[in-house]
Amino acid sequence: MLEIKNLHASVDENEILRGIDLTINAGEVHAIMGPNGSGKSTLAHVLAGRDGYQITHGKVIYEGKDLLAMHPEERAREGVFLAFQYPVEIAGVSNMYFLRAALNAIRKHHGLDELDAMDFLKMVREKMKLLGMDETLMNRPVNEGFSGGEKKRNEIFQMAVLEPRLAILDETDSGLDIDALRTVSEGINRLRGPKRAIVLVTHYQRLLNYVVPDFVHVLADGRIVKSGGKELAHELEEKGYAWLEESAEPAKSGVNR
């Protein structure tokens, strides 16, 4: 589904991603872990199409297409979803209106009829219940005045409604209390399926107790320094990242030269 080959990306001449290679197949759940500043969020935003990154080397192939050549909205319509680490507040636009506009843009792209407000409400009601989204929250402006937990839940709710094929979750677990973490995890697990791939970008191992990944990758200094199964996450939990960062040093200087 997704093939990242030797991806290098910079912001203002600073190279953040220094050669990422990663292959993700449908049905798989990958966790990308790493210390702060390792490039996790950059990777997530490069995949979603945020402006401001220069791709200096490499390519990303999604479902046989050149992902990096697509606008963010085209990627979304083709099934790429990024749950933001810091969801943006949108004044004056209700959560309901926003999400329906998003869903209809995607449906239109696939030649489906647009949903009116009534049909949309019918469709989302169940998903709202599952994620504990209050209907009043739906009528409030997008993320405005939401607590941290509500914002994260709202991201997962959007994912549940938009049903992406490739979901990238950027630190969706950070700042959640244990109850919220359970609800959010349940929402993620519900979306696991043979046709969908999920990428969990996280700093902590905690989320992985609830959403058990098939693969774990460690990102350090813009490169994947180690990959393994779910047990790698436990190892990181015990030992921290330091031992991996040390081993990444030579690689870093190698790139600089």
Partner 1 sequence: MSAATESRTAYLAEFTRLEERLAHKLAQNADHHDAWFQRRRKEAIGRFAELGFPTTKLEEWKFTNVDRIARMPFHSTEFRADGLSSDLLADLPLAHAAFEQRCSRIVFVNGHYNPQLSSRDLPDKLIASSLASAIQHDAPGVREHLARHAGFQNAAFVALNTAFLEDGAFIEVPRGVRLGAPIYLLFVSTPDQPIASHPRSLIIIGDDSQASIVEDYLAVGDGAYFTNAVTEIVAGENSVVDHYKLQDENQEAFHVATVQVHQARSSNFTHHSISLGGSLVRNNVTVALDGEGAECTLNGLYIAAHNQHVDNHTVIDHIKPHCASRELYKGILDDKASAVFNGSVIVRKDAQKTDARQSNKNLLLSEGATINSKPQLEINADDVKCSHGTTIGHLDEDSVYYLRARGIGEREARSLLTYGFANDVLNKMKLDAVRVRLECAILARMSGGHAQVEGQ
The residues binding partner 1 (CB under 8 A) are 48-51, 71-73, 75-77, 81-82, 84, 87-94, 96-99, 101-103, 105-106, 109, 117, 139, 141, 158, 162
Query: Given the complex with partner 1, which of 159 and 219 has the nearer CB atom?
Result: 159
Q: Determine the Cα–Cα distance for residues 171 and 103; give it in Å rounded to an integer.
A: 24
Report, in Å, the least distance between residue 170 CB and partner 1.
11
Q: Which two tokens stand for residue 103?
A: 């869903």
If the CB atoms of residues 99 and 124 are measured against partner 1, the closer one turns out to be 99
Question: Do 48 and 79 contact (CB within 8 A), yes or no?
Answer: no
Collect all residues with Cβ–Cβ distance below 8 Å to 86 and sequence separation of at least 6: none
Nearest distance from residue 102's CB to partner 1, in Å? Answer: 4
Query: C-alpha angle with apex 90: 118 to 107, nearest 5 degrees?
Result: 40
Q: How far is the CB of 86 from partner 1 (least distance, A)?
A: 9
Helix ranges (H only) for the chain are: 40-48, 72-77, 95-109, 117-130, 135-139, 148-162, 178-191, 207-210, 231-239, 242-256
Q: How far is the CB of 99 from partner 1 (least distance, A)?
A: 8
Supply the minimum distance, in Å, between the C-beta of residue 19 and partner 1.
25
Burial label for 43, CB within 10 Å (0-12, 13-18, 19+), is: buried
Q: Shortest gap between Cβ of 160 and partner 1 (angstroms)?
A: 13
Closer CB to partner 1, 81 or 146, in the complex: 81
> SS3 of 94, please?
strand
Residue 70 or 212: which CB sits closer to partner 1? 70
User: Is there a contact between 5 and 208 (Cβ–Cβ < 8 Å)?
Assistant: no
Closer by beta carbon to partner 1, 71 or else 257: 71
Judged by beta carbon, residue 77 or residue 223, the one nearer partner 1 is: 77
